[in-house]
A and B are shown apart, each in its own frame.
Chain A
């Protein structure tokens, strides 16, 4: 619904044209309107159903699962923000080490060794083998 309302608002800034000669805003306007109708209908059915069903289903299966998901999202955001600053090797090493630690109770030697091995392998695969340059970062690697 939010997407539909956003679309309806933004397409006001674009020329819509006419049926005979549709302009850039025509298709987004039609879609935004259609989306708002379907979303409103779905919302109405969900609210009607919600009144009949008293039970509430937990969003996450467990609190441990919720924590793992949040930490994974945090790691993803860290990766995006650090990639061009710290460079691929260091960022991916930290990313992998953090996530393996979150998902398991392995010994640190295993975590650090595995993280280094995988991040270096991907560097070789993408940068050296497939010639798809990866960022070096301020440390030069």
Chain B
């Protein structure tokens, strides 16, 4: 009965005209961001975060959430029509989606992608609604050692799953933690690495860094390479999948939904991992695995469903534990804190209207997206033709203005530009910025829990091994570290296996 009352409360919040409009704006912008290659949800949410200052907390999160799951819907459009993924989670859709378009089946590909995303998104939100409150209650039993161990596991997992070199990812994680110490020490009030700068006394903000590393750096990369893609020129017809298409896709959608939801709980690029894992699973389970890569509809349905349900799953660690599982969640954490809301075990009990309001708006948003993606696909194709020489400068300007508007401080603009150049250089040397940014966000909380744990234990590290949950988490972290080291040594000994 409690949950029914909360859901009704949630719908009351979600159906307020202002929140309904913000939901629509969010999903529309999200689809646009997903459609446009080169601008992912991280950069988009960073750009739009300053605009949410004047909104209520519920309105802000509703709009930003709409951008996040809207981008998952939109990303499939460019994958299918241009063979260029709109965002990372849609990379795998290129394999079969584009082949379906070349066979004159762009319509069913787009259609099954939209319907699969809708079904998965809806069930994902249901899972979020049921699991998050339960996990929040369980997390009340966590102490500083458990939180520390969980954060260490999260950061290690992000580095472990990062694309490219694991050593580089670990380097970025430690660098992010170090940069996160800049500012005023919250316990003693000591200034660390501030050099008298009032701006740096508050630490290095996540928004300017995110806009720099993922907005400015992305544009610099595009400016260098002059990204251009060929849109598959055909009249898109038959958006509604046939019964045969449904027969071939339904299993993939169900499996993708369940897989994606649980993968979404894990730290790291969960949407991308979910879509890749779903593709691998469908290919393995298929009676005709050789058809994958040549236009198999299950190769579109499964991954697109998985990445959408992963977006719902990713909210759970943030809202119930206060730990962001990926970059987008880190920005959500920033947005909540800007509005004076602390995510964590007490979030749901203290702000049921906010939690259930956002959940219910996600149901509504999924319905909106179904209507946006199918009839408006022609419009999105036209948007894809926007010249890059207009888009790139505009994205840069958005980043810079967004940085300035945070505090009316030109130093934040300089930080954005600095991290934009750093981000560009990191990409050139194949360093992934994701572990850096996540570490920057988690660093202060991690340090706080570490110091509290050491004070409680009076310097005795066996505290972490004497508490069961902390022990499990620490062992999992050590396992990942040893596995990374072992893989590295093994690849060094037998380089041909690695190739």
Chain A minimum-CB-distance residue to B492: A45
Asked if B476 is at the interface of the complex by the 8 Å CB criterion, the answer is no
Asked if A56 is at the interface of the complex by the 8 Å CB criterion, the answer is no
Q: Is the CB of B413 within 8 A of A22?
A: no
Q: Is the CB of B54 within 8 A of A76?
A: no
Contact of B393 among A7, A21, A88, A99 (CB under 8 A): A99
Taking CB atoms, residues of chain B closer than 8 Å to A73 are 220, 417, 421
Contact of B400 among A61, A79, A106 (CB under 8 A): A79
Chain B minimum-CB-distance residue to A33: B174
Taking CB atoms, residues of chain A closer than 8 Å to B405 are 126, 130, 132, 134
Q: Is the CB of A96 within 8 A of B397?
A: yes
Question: What sequence of 0s and 1s flags, for each residue 434-449 of chain B, a beta carbon within 8 Å of any chain A beta carbon?
Answer: 0000000000000100
Taking CB atoms, residues of chain A closer than 8 Å to B362 are none
A100 and B54 in contact, given A22-B451, A77-B417 (Cβ under 8 angstroms): no
The 10 closest A-B pairs by CB, nearest first: A19-B459, A20-B459, A104-B389, A103-B389, A99-B393, A65-B224, A24-B185, A132-B405, A24-B190, A31-B178
DSSP majority for the B interface? helix
Chain B minimum-CB-distance residue to A69: B224
A38 and B393 in contact, given A31-B178, A68-B223, A77-B417 (Cβ under 8 angstroms): no
Question: What sequence of 0s and 1s flags, for each residue 388-425 of chain B, a beta carbon within 8 Å of any chain A beta carbon?
Answer: 11101110111011001100101001100100110010
The CA of A4 and the CA of B178, in the complex, are separated in Å by 9
In the assembled complex, the CB of B74 is this many whole angstroms from the nearest CB of chain A, namely 21
Question: What sequence of 0s and 1s flags, for each residue 10-35 of chain A, a beta carbon within 8 Å of any chain B beta carbon?
Answer: 10001100111111111110011011
The CA of A3 and the CA of B390, in the complex, are separated in Å by 36
The CA of A69 and the CA of B178, in the complex, are separated in Å by 29
Q: What is the total number of residues of chain B having a CB less than 8 Å from a CB of chain A?
A: 56
Given A14-B192, A31-B177, 11 new contacts (CB under 8 A): A21-B455, A27-B181, A28-B181, A28-B192, A38-B174, A65-B225, A73-B417, A95-B393, A99-B393, A114-B390, A130-B405
The CA of A135 and the CA of B193, in the complex, are separated in Å by 29
Q: Is the CB of A76 within 8 A of B223?
A: no
The CA of A35 and the CA of B421, in the complex, are separated in Å by 21
Q: Is the CB of B224 within 8 A of A68?
A: yes
Asked if A112 is at the interface of the complex by the 8 Å CB criterion, the answer is no
A83 and B410 in contact, given A24-B190, A38-B171, A106-B389 (Cβ under 8 angstroms): yes
Asked if B219 is at the interface of the complex by the 8 Å CB criterion, the answer is yes
The CA of A80 and the CA of B410, in the complex, are separated in Å by 7
Contact of A72 among B190, B219, B408 (CB under 8 A): B219
Taking CB atoms, residues of chain A closer than 8 Å to B424 are 69
The CA of A41 and the CA of B473, in the complex, are separated in Å by 27
Q: Is the CB of B174 within 8 A of A31?
A: yes
A35 and B178 in contact, given A10-B193, A26-B451 (Cβ under 8 angstroms): yes
Chain A minimum-CB-distance residue to B216: A76
A65 and B226 in contact, given A15-B190, A99-B393, A118-B394 (Cβ under 8 angstroms): yes
Asked if B18 is at the interface of the complex by the 8 Å CB criterion, the answer is no
In the assembled complex, the CB of B95 is this many whole angstroms from the nearest CB of chain A, namely 25
The CA of A100 and the CA of B192, in the complex, are separated in Å by 41
The CA of A59 and the CA of B388, in the complex, are separated in Å by 23
Contact of A27 among B54, B392, B451 (CB under 8 A): B451
- Number of cross-chain contacts by CB at 8 Å: 155
The CA of A45 and the CA of B166, in the complex, are separated in Å by 13
In the assembled complex, the CB of B194 is this many whole angstroms from the nearest CB of chain A, namely 11
Q: Is the CB of A31 within 8 A of B223?
A: no
Q: Is the CB of A76 within 8 A of B400?
A: yes
Taking CB atoms, residues of chain B closer than 8 Å to A130 are 50-51, 53-54, 405
Q: Is the CB of B397 within 8 A of A132?
A: no
Name the interface residues of B216-257: CB closer than 8 Å to any CB of A. Answer: 216, 219-220, 223-226
A118 and B397 in contact, given A3-B175, A103-B389, A132-B53 (Cβ under 8 angstroms): yes
Asked if B454 is at the interface of the complex by the 8 Å CB criterion, the answer is yes
The CA of A19 and the CA of B460, in the complex, are separated in Å by 8
The CA of A45 and the CA of B451, in the complex, are separated in Å by 34
Taking CB atoms, residues of chain B closer than 8 Å to A31 are 174, 177-178, 181
Question: What sequence of 0s and 1s flags, for each residue 145-171 of chain B, a beta carbon within 8 Å of any chain A beta carbon?
Answer: 000000000000000000000011011
Q: Is the CB of A39 within 8 A of B171?
A: yes
In the assembled complex, the CB of A27 is this many whole angstroms from the nearest CB of chain B, namely 5
Taking CB atoms, residues of chain B closer than 8 Å to A41 are 167
Asked if B458 is at the interface of the complex by the 8 Å CB criterion, the answer is yes
Q: Is the CB of B190 within 8 A of A96?
A: no
Chain B minimum-CB-distance residue to A88: B401
Taking CB atoms, residues of chain A closer than 8 Å to B224 are 60-61, 65-66, 68-69
A3 and B178 in contact, given A24-B190, A72-B223 (Cβ under 8 angstroms): yes
Contact of A69 among B51, B223, B393, B414 (CB under 8 A): B223
Question: What sequence of 0s and 1s flags, for each residue 102-141 of chain A, a beta carbon within 8 Å of any chain B beta carbon?
Answer: 0110100000001000110010001000111111000000
Taking CB atoms, residues of chain B closer than 8 Å to A3 are 175, 178
Q: Is the CB of A35 within 8 A of B219?
A: no
Q: Is the CB of B174 within 8 A of A122?
A: no
Chain B minimum-CB-distance residue to A114: B390
Name the interface residues of A46-94: CB closer than 8 Å to any CB of B. Answer: 59-61, 65-66, 68-69, 72-73, 75-77, 79-80, 83-84, 88, 92
Chain A minimum-CB-distance residue to B399: A76
The CA of A123 and the CA of B245, in the complex, are separated in Å by 48
Q: Is the CB of A96 within 8 A of B394?
A: yes
18 contacts between A and B (CB under 8 A): A27-B177, A28-B192, A32-B178, A34-B174, A38-B167, A45-B167, A65-B226, A72-B223, A73-B220, A80-B413, A83-B410, A92-B401, A96-B394, A99-B392, A104-B389, A126-B401, A132-B54, A134-B401
